[in-house]
Amino acid sequence: MLMNATDLASLQQQLAGANPRTILKAALSAFDKIAISFSGAEDVVLIDMACRIRENIEVFTLDTGRLHPETYRLLEDVRKRYPIRLRVMFPDPAGIEAMVQAKGLFSFYEEGHQECCRLRKVDPLKRALLGLDAWITGQRRDQSADTRQDLPEVQLDPAFATPQRPLIKFNPLAGWDSRKVWDHIEAYDVPYNELHRRGYPSIGCEPCTRSVLPNQHAREGRWWWEAGQKKECGLHVTHSKT
Amino acid sequence: MLMNATDLASLQQQLAGANPRTILKAALSAFDKIAISFSGAEDVVLIDMACRIRENIEVFTLDTGRLHPETYRLLEDVRKRYPIRLRVMFPDPAGIEAMVQAKGLFSFYEEGHQECCRLRKVDPLKRALLGLDAWITGQRRDQSADTRQDLPEVQLDPAFATPQRPLIKFNPLAGWDSRKVWDHIEAYDVPYNELHRRGYPSIGCEPCTRSVLPNQHAREGRWWWEAGQKKECGLHVTHSKT
Amino acid sequence: MLMNATDLASLQQQLAGANPRTILKAALSAFDKIAISFSGAEDVVLIDMACRIRENIEVFTLDTGRLHPETYRLLEDVRKRYPIRLRVMFPDPAGIEAMVQAKGLFSFYEEGHQECCRLRKVDPLKRALLGLDAWITGQRRDQSADTRQDLPEVQLDPAFATPQRPLIKFNPLAGWDSRKVWDHIEAYDVPYNELHRRGYPSIGCEPCTRSVLPNQHAREGRWWWEAGQKKECGLHVTHSKT
Amino acid sequence: MLMNATDLASLQQQLAGANPRTILKAALSAFDKIAISFSGAEDVVLIDMACRIRENIEVFTLDTGRLHPETYRLLEDVRKRYPIRLRVMFPDPAGIEAMVQAKGLFSFYEEGHQECCRLRKVDPLKRALLGLDAWITGQRRDQSADTRQDLPEVQLDPAFATPQRPLIKFNPLAGWDSRKVWDHIEAYDVPYNELHRRGYPSIGCEPCTRSVLPNQHAREGRWWWEAGQKKECGLHVTHSKT
């Protein structure tokens, strides 16, 4: 099912400020070809919530080939616990091998993370999105003052929608803060990434994630050698036209 | 120098809501026989602030014999970096040996931490306080809703003062929250306990401290097997007479 | 250059019991299309020795997508330190994604490691071997009583040679034991995998490697849930014809 | 019971080359006032063997106040599993506090470990030995080429015996090597220090112990900043008279 601009505007108005369950229900009833994107971190709450709505939810995750061992273990725990269909997307070797041969295994520290994220995350994401009319992410406004503060509950995907393919993106956790997410994880005994107990509020690839000090913002644990405004991997960034 | 009730009330009024530096200055000018109690955690900011006021501050810390290796390393870093006189108090073997022979090395998990804290912390603290007219602690109101919410900037020590010995306790960080403490640590490049980067907001003895999840209260990392209201080791608790 | 059976037999006789440098020299002078296979573990000594013979050695390693973070760091250290051309082979996503979707991310614990090793190691190895006439491995007789005790210094590759393509395999460390390898690493200040200092004598993929107790055989740290005789990943096993 | 020189010579001859159980049996039947000295490492096998001979063995261990958390956990595991009477000796605060105030918490790195070992190990050991006629240690000849190669199965204690008090020391593991110790631990499912699985063959105080590389001698993990011949803490060294 595709959604036109009028329907989207109406849905946006209807879901503005709604709680995550309401947004998830709306998403799952509006679209058949829809999937949850799972990062292996605290967005596990989305899966827990969705499985209380219906079974056989489609979920995909991006195995970049550089995840923490703890993240692989969480992916498997989730796969075994919930009645979901989990696709684990894997990068294409041609691009990875060429980049590594030319620049080594840690080029992101010198050149920025964009090329590596494109090969290990964005390209596999594009494959995962093929055939979908909508997807569901765990993004929240409180995750980044720079890039996520205006995040709507539902939107035309600013990165991957095209005139021919009006991909819709749902962000059910947009209005939640970290405390609400963790309250849910504790209350419903949701499995979580062990790294969260070792000072990691935000989790991505192993070389590009670190633990933070008390009171440091979660985003300080990601791509810390780069300036704040770049801290998105390309999955959720608006394509600027300039 | 001893302080009578009228002077204390006046000082309390004067320091209510004052910033940590002001409180520290007042403390250090009012008393010669005064020392900072350093726990090996984020109260390191007190030492940093005090050394900007004057040199040769007396500092003591309680080596319980069960601290984390990381804490011993911080104690040494602090000893080498700041012009302080650091006393490291150590427990008496008679009590420790008797308790361990009777109950083993982890009796606190079964019986509560009071006996162990008394032998490893409170008794050595009493020795450290001998000869002092006042001491300075890193307690803050934000550390515990149960036990520290009414903490004043300066007080007659509710645990160790006696009619014959009106010991005064200063709490310069009473009004600061964790964020301000960490802003100071970062701004002044103050050495900190490595455990703070591994999910430990609060640090005590190794077996009685654990890392916490994102958004868990710091105090969840201490004596987690006991109910909330008991989470003080006896250094700072009022002696109730009932 | 291809090598016929007579020349091989002569070379075998000549190199039987020779030291690693002699074997490496013979290998590098006999073949132009030759490469060292580097596992990210103590076989780093081969690279160190080869670079003392000539520059621009071809080296390849198999990035299975499940290596330890420490192994990626060693690969990069080696890439930066030695004048080698390092190819890092990466698996094909089609096979990985299908296996993971069907069986999850840890199927090797239940079904054995053969399928996963084939997809993540053997298939990429075959690509790495394309165009080569010979390769050089770090295998040693002391690594396995079951599978490596008769390992010759040079051999027709028992797994990947074909009648049309008589691939030669050199094992310069065949006659060395672990002590000699580590003496070389220390004497020449060769970079090594940090895991070797944490109880890991043998290092492979993260989920299929563990540390061992004092005096346990290195091979106890690999695929420990399987019987001893299967502990090869397919890179070095003879194809049985029965 | 005291033992004269003739009896000791006879016992030495009788026990030369005997297996650990035989030596233990001889020790336990010859002396009532006898205890096993347990270091919290692989000498746990002595306790396992002794408890198969009789119950209520006296065991003591030296809690230096700087042990690894893992060692405290093993001490407690052993205390709970075996029918022993465990004394955990603790150092005297006067000496520790004076040393630390003068030289800090890591003076052994600069001045050598003798003073610290004396205060934290040797003095408490002397207290533990008071009233004993004999003690049993886990020393082995294979632990040190420098200091333990001539270790007898039983001896007049070269450090603590006096003319008035002919203290006897039994070393039941003198003739065993590390492999035999670990075979016993595995065969009898004896609890062991978790550090042994992380590259630590020898375990003492935390700041003075480190993990070793494959094939490094166990003793390389102790007081590594000092020359080989000094690597004893004073518990087992002959008092030289020169």
pLDDT by residue (tens digit) across D53-78? 999 999 999 999 999 999 999 999 99
Domain at B96, CATH number: 3.40.50.620
Q: How far is D98 from chain C (nearest CA, A)?
A: 35
What crossing angle do the helices spanning A44-51 and A178-187 adopt, rounded to 10°?
A: 50
B211 touches chain A (CB under 8 A): yes
Q: How far is C11 from chain D (nearest CA, A)?
A: 32
Residue A230 has what pLDDT?
60
Contact A45, A190 (CB under 8 A): yes
Q: In a mutagenesis test of the A interface, which of C67, C100, C200, C211 is the best target, namely the one with the most A β-carbons within 10 Å?
A: C100
- Region of residue D74 (phi > 0: left; psi between -120 and 50: alpha; otherwise: beta): alpha
Contact B88 D68 (CB under 8 A): no
Q: Among all residues of D, which ones are annotated catalytic?
A: 233
Please check whether residue C234 lies inside any domain of the structure. no
**Residues of A with CB below 8 A from B183's CB?**
215
Residue B241 has what pLDDT?
37
In chain A, the residue whose alpha carbon lies closest to the alpha carbon of C64 is A65
Q: In a mutagenesis test of the B interface, which of A178, A184, A211, A213 is the best target, namely the one with the most B β-carbons within 10 Å?
A: A213
Residue C63 has what pLDDT?
98
D201 touches chain C (CB under 8 A): yes
Please check whether residue C180 lies inside any domain of the structure. yes
Q: Any catalytic annotation for residue A233?
A: yes
In chain D, the residue whose alpha carbon lies closest to the alpha carbon of B95 is D90
**Residues of D with CB below 8 A from C185's CB?**
213
The residues, any chain, with a CB within 8 Å of residue C28's CB and separated by 6 or more, are C34, C50, C53, C54, C57
Q: Are chains B and C in contact at 3+ CB pairs closer than 8 Å?
A: no
**Residues of C with CB below 8 A from D213's CB?**
182, 185-186, 192, 196-197
Q: In a mutagenesis test of the B interface, which of D61, D68, D70, D88 is the best target, namely the one with the most B β-carbons within 10 Å?
A: D88
What crossing angle do the helices spanning D69-81 and D44-53 adopt, rounded to 10°?
A: 10
Outline where C82-201 has alpha helix (H). 93-103, 108-111, 114-117, 123-129, 178-187
In chain B, the residue whose alpha carbon lies closest to the alpha carbon of A180 is B215
Q: Tell me the per-residue pLDDT of B56-88, one tens digit each, with 9 for 90 and over.
A: 999 999 999 999 999 999 999 999 999 999 999
Please check whether residue C239 lies inside any domain of the structure. no
Query: Which helix or strand (DSSP H or E) is residue C62 part of?
Result: strand C57-62
Q: Give, in order, the Cα–Cα distances in Å from C8 to each of C23, C141, C152, C168.
A: 13, 20, 12, 9
Please check whether residue A241 lies inside any domain of the structure. no
Q: Are chains B and A in contact at 3+ CB pairs closer than 8 Å?
A: yes
In percent, the amount of chain D with pLDDT more than 90 equals 79
Contact A38, A47 (CB under 8 A): yes
Please check whether residue B235 lies inside any domain of the structure. no
Contact D197 C178 (CB under 8 A): no
Identified catalytic residue from A117, A205, A208, A233: A233
**Residues of A with CB below 8 A from B200's CB?**
199
- Region of residue A29 (phi > 0: left; psi between -120 and 50: alpha; otherwise: beta): alpha
What crossing angle do the helices spanning C44-51 and C69-81 adopt, rounded to 10°?
A: 0
Contact D87 B101 (CB under 8 A): yes
A110 touches chain C (CB under 8 A): no
Angstrom distance (rounded) from CA B44 to CA B54: 16
Q: Are chains A and D in contact at 3+ CB pairs closer than 8 Å?
A: no
Checking if the pLDDT of C190 tops 50, the result is yes
Q: Which residues pair with B209 in a beta bridge?
A: B222
Radius of gyration over alpha carbons of chain B, in Å? 17
Size of interface A-B (CB pairs under 8 A): 50
**Residues of D with CB below 8 A from B99's CB?**
none
Domain that holds residue B102: 5-224
CA dihedral of residues A95, A98, A104, A105 (deg, nearest 10): 30
Strands A84-89 vs A134-136: parallel, antiparallel or unpaired? unpaired
Contacting partners of chain A (3+ CB pairs under 8 A): B, C
In one-letter notation, the amino acid at residue B112 is G
In chain C, the residue whose alpha carbon lies closest to the alpha carbon of D180 is C215
Please check whether residue A187 lies inside any domain of the structure. yes
Residue B234 has what pLDDT?
79
Please check whether residue C242 lies inside any domain of the structure. no
Note which residues in 129-188 of chain A have CB less than 8 A from chain C: none
B224 touches chain A (CB under 8 A): no
Residue D238 has what pLDDT?
53
- In the numeric block, the tokens 């082979």 are attached to C89
Contact D27, D18 (CB under 8 A): no
Checking if the pLDDT of D240 tops 50, the result is no
Checking if the pLDDT of C229 tops 60, the result is no
Q: How far is B198 from chain D (nearest CA, A)?
A: 17
Contact C93 A96 (CB under 8 A): no
A24 touches chain B (CB under 8 A): no
Q: Give, in order, the Cα–Cα distances in Å from C185 to each of A183, B8, C76, C172, C211.
A: 51, 68, 17, 15, 20
Measure CB to CB from residue D199 to each of C179, C197, C218 and give the nearest one: C197
Distance of CA A36 to the CA centre of its chain: 9
In chain A, the residue whose alpha carbon lies closest to the alpha carbon of C72 is A105
Query: Which helix or strand (DSSP H or E) is residue C36 part of?
Result: strand C34-38
Contact B182 A216 (CB under 8 A): yes
What's the whole-model pTM score? 0.93
Task: Please give the DSSP secondary-structure letter assigned to residue D147.
Answer: T
Question: C-alpha angle B32/B33/B35, rounded to 5°?
Answer: 105
| Residues of chain B under the 50 pLDDT cut | 239-242
Which tokens go with B178? 């964790």
Contact C178 D42 (CB under 8 A): no
Residue C228 has what pLDDT?
63
Could you give the number of structural domains in chain A?
A: 1
Residue C163 has what pLDDT?
86
Contact B90 D65 (CB under 8 A): yes
| Residues of chain A under the 50 pLDDT cut | 239-242
Average pLDDT, chain C: 93
Q: Which residues pair with C220 in a beta bridge?
A: none
Please check whether residue D236 lies inside any domain of the structure. no
Q: Tell me the per-residue pLDDT of C124-158, one tens digit each, with 9 for 90 and over.
A: 999 999 999 999 999 999 987 677 788 999 999 99
Checking if the pLDDT of C239 tops 70, the result is no
Which tokens go with D17? 């080359």
**Closest by Cα among C5, C8, C1 to C170:** C8
Task: Please give the DSSP secondary-structure letter assigned to residue C197.
Answer: G
**Residues of D with CB below 8 A from B90's CB?**
65, 91, 93, 96-97, 100
**Closest by Cα among D61, D226, D33, D31 to D138:** D61
**Residues of D with CB below 8 A from B93's CB?**
89-93, 124
In chain C, the residue whose alpha carbon lies closest to the alpha carbon of D199 is C199
Task: Please give the DSSP secondary-structure letter assigned to residue A76.
Answer: H
D105 touches chain B (CB under 8 A): yes
Angstrom distance (rounded) from CA D61 to CA D203: 13
Sign of CA dihedral B17, B19, B22, B26: positive
C211 touches chain A (CB under 8 A): no
Q: What are the phi and psi torsion angles at A43 (to 5°)?
A: -70, 0
Contacting partners of chain B (3+ CB pairs under 8 A): A, D
Checking if the pLDDT of D210 tops 90, the result is yes
A215 touches chain B (CB under 8 A): yes
Checking if the pLDDT of D216 tops 80, the result is yes
Q: Tell me the per-residue pLDDT of A22-53, one tens digit each, with 9 for 90 and over.
A: 999 999 999 999 999 999 999 999 999 999 99
Q: Tell me the per-residue pLDDT of C90-120, one tens digit each, with 9 for 90 and over.
A: 999 999 999 999 999 999 999 999 999 999 9
Residue C126 has what pLDDT?
97
